Amino acid sequence: MSVARMRRRLILEDGLVFEGQGFGCLDEVSGEVVFTTAMSGYQQSITDQSYNGQCLVFTYPLIGNYGINAKDMESLEPTCLAVICKDYARLGSHYQKRMDLAAFLLEKKIIGLSGIDTRKLTRHLRQHGTMKGFITDRSVDDGLASLLQYKPKIHQIAEVSTQTMYPNPGENYRVVVVDYGLKHSILRELSRRQCDVIVVPHTTSAEKILSYFPDGVMLSNGPGDPMVCGPEVEVIRALLNQVPIFGICMGHQLLALALGCSTFKMQFGHRGLNHPVREIASGRIDFTSQNHGYAVELNSIDRQQILLTHVEINDGTVEGIRHRHYPAFSVQFHPDAAPGPHDGMHLFDEFMEMMEAWKGREKHG
């Protein structure tokens, strides 16, 4: 399939401009510009709903070389706004390929921009922080004027969460997954452990969740600022000590808020597949897949109630917590990977053990 290409420019809110060529959907768009250092797994990254409302920069110089397949979708309808890269493969070459990258972006109405200096762009974002950008064929002055009118979305979880409950049947523990922007890889890991899964919208009440008689509750990943999610935090607070809880990424931040912690926006976030994380108890180092622009404030953790379990080696940010008395824990990284290393997969097994211990406690009073 032939896909048109034409001149486009990325205009950042501070006035820096990058010239390139458009591919995929040839529209114009404003959004938060973020970068990922992942060297593979571009399809999973593009379809990760945590990139909702963002223009995704790939630091790896070539993407699209294996095309798009049916297996590596983390959501069916991705909501990232744009893909920005140095170059992309016009023709993917893999036996599982269903279509090429440009055709996929066109079908999903995602803007593509190639031919720019992504190293310069990434260094600029690292130095000055994540900022708004506008991809367009307009003049720089017109583009900046339009960008100044852009207002980012406030409650992004509402855009990506399922609207209706749905099951993913199994024969083992019943797990209710609260969908804040769920990656399909989380469901795959629960399915591998034969869990009987029920996925519910982010608006589901604690009473409704408990009415399904879950053995555990999974809090999924998702986009946006956790501080605007007051109702979701209240639901989690009501579930504490009622059922075992495991939070991932956004789920980690919301659990932390429910436990009285605070969060902050990072300068440029963690997005990539090689973030080293130390498990404090054992000293074990895991390389992890991450995608987040907010983090839990270390000094807000009540050490009498909450155990700090994991820290990021590069910058010391909080990567995992566990309540000292309630069956609840969470991590900032993605143990489900997809893409990324599998170092953290054991955390799903720890969740299974937590649910088993909780059931044993209930059985014996």
Catalytic residues: 249, 334, 336
Cα 255 to Cα 174: distance, rounded to the nearest angstrom: 20
Contact present, 339 and 41 (Cβ < 8 Å): yes
Residue 119: how many other CB atoms lie within 10 Å: 11
| The residue type at 234 | E
Tokens of 87: 């170059």
Helix axes 250-258, 230-239, angle to 10 degrees: 70
Strand segments, DSSP code E, in 110-228 are: 111-114, 131-136, 166-168, 174-178, 196-200, 216-219
Contact present, 91 and 230 (Cβ < 8 Å): no
Cα 133 to Cα 27: distance, rounded to the nearest angstrom: 14
Cα 272 to Cα 333: distance, rounded to the nearest angstrom: 10
Pairing of strands 82-84, 54-58: parallel
